[in-house]
Amino acid sequence: MSDPYVHPDVSTIIRLALDEDLRGGADVTCQALVPAAARLSGLVRAKDRGVVCGLPLFAPVFAACGGGVELSAMVADGTVVSPGDVVLRFHGSARTLLTGERTALNLAQRLSGTATMTRALVDAVAGTRTRILDTRKTTPGLRVLQKHAVLCGGGANHRHGLHDAVLIKENHIALMPPGPLGSGPAEAVRQARAAVGPAVSIEVEIEHLADLAPVIAAGADIVLLDNMAPDLLRTAVLERDRLGSRTLLEASGGITLASVRSVADSGVDRISTGSMTHSVIALDLSMRCDPA
């Protein structure tokens, strides 16, 4: 992924987040209590152990609040921090800092939560050949940043959206009668390949092992094994290898930190989970200021 912080979605995210707070007006607390010329200096500390992500967002947030702030990040995205570690220092316009504080912290804390959960999953499968991938179960509008956070945690990105790869799910398959290859999933792969050609990746979800050989024969690049127990996943890996196929096998469905190792030990190539983006606990970051 190219630099996510210069993606046009990010400026839109910041504008919308600030508009939630300001509604086109100003911070009435700052107007009442903070002189326009007042300046503050301070720092942001981690209050939990985790993986930091999103500190570069402080600069554009403060710029959108009026500017006049100098920032110095003490750690880079992907750095593991402990409670009390200083992650950012700043000084400048008090009104700017106090107006943009919550928006910047909200974004960085949530992204750091994603990076932290990703790192935990990646560490849990260390020593296996399995990669941890995200899904499209992202917070609306935040996908480009959340997928960056997954990378910072050591995971990998699944497709970024509906536009860049074919993923055939059960609701697509419901439209498919059995075709010449003998199953609905295989017929869906055959039709998709005919439509998109050889350059576009095709992934298909199956719920029964009987569909594995037909979808591989139909030309699937990746087979998503949905909600299968580790013993069934292991059988699928053996069958794929028996067929001499290079098709990747991906496990998904209800996989947690407690179960991810047993899934990886089955030999699957990939595990995808939405938990890294839809069920994260934000990493607690604290911003404290003093008069400059």
- 292 confidence band (pLDDT: 50, 70, 90): confident
Residues 137 and 271 reside in one and the same domain: yes
Residues 273 and 136 reside in one and the same domain: yes
Comparison of pLDDT for 180 and 211, the residue scoring more: 211
Residues 32 and 142 reside in one and the same domain: no
Say yes or no to pLDDT of 209 above 70: yes
Written as six digits, the tokens of 188 are: 């869906």
Q: How far from 156 is each of 101, 127, 175, CA to CA, in Å?
A: 30, 16, 31
Residues 223 and 158 reside in one and the same domain: yes
Say yes or no to pLDDT of 1 above 70: no
Residues 215 and 263 reside in one and the same domain: yes
Phi, psi of 46 (to 5 degrees): -80, 140
Catalytic amino acids? 102, 137, 169, 205, 226
The CATH number covering residue 162 comes to 3.20.20.70
Say yes or no to pLDDT of 180 above 80: no
Do 218 and 195 form a contact (C-beta atoms < 8 A)?
no
The CATH number covering residue 95 comes to 3.90.1170.20
Residues 166 and 118 reside in one and the same domain: no
Say yes or no to pLDDT of 71 above 70: yes
Q: Tokens 């409670």 map to which residue?
A: 83
Would you give the DSSP letter of residue 77? T
- % the chain with pLDDT above 70: 98
Name the helix (H) or strand (E) containing 217: helix 212-218
Say yes or no to pLDDT of 176 above 90: no
Q: Which of 92, 88, 89 is nearest to 69 (CA)?
A: 92
Do 283 and 83 form a contact (C-beta atoms < 8 A)?
no
pLDDT of residue 111: 98
Residues 135 and 269 reside in one and the same domain: yes
Residues 81 and 220 reside in one and the same domain: no
Residues 238 and 100 reside in one and the same domain: no
Residues 51 and 112 reside in one and the same domain: yes
Domain count across the chain: 2
Residues 111 and 132 reside in one and the same domain: no
Residues 104 and 118 reside in one and the same domain: yes
Distance CA 80, CA 53 (A): 10
Q: Which of 46, 43, 20, 44 is nearest to 99 (CA)?
A: 20
Distance CA 43, CA 287 (A): 6
Query: Which structural domain, as residue segments, surrounds residue 217?
Result: 127-278
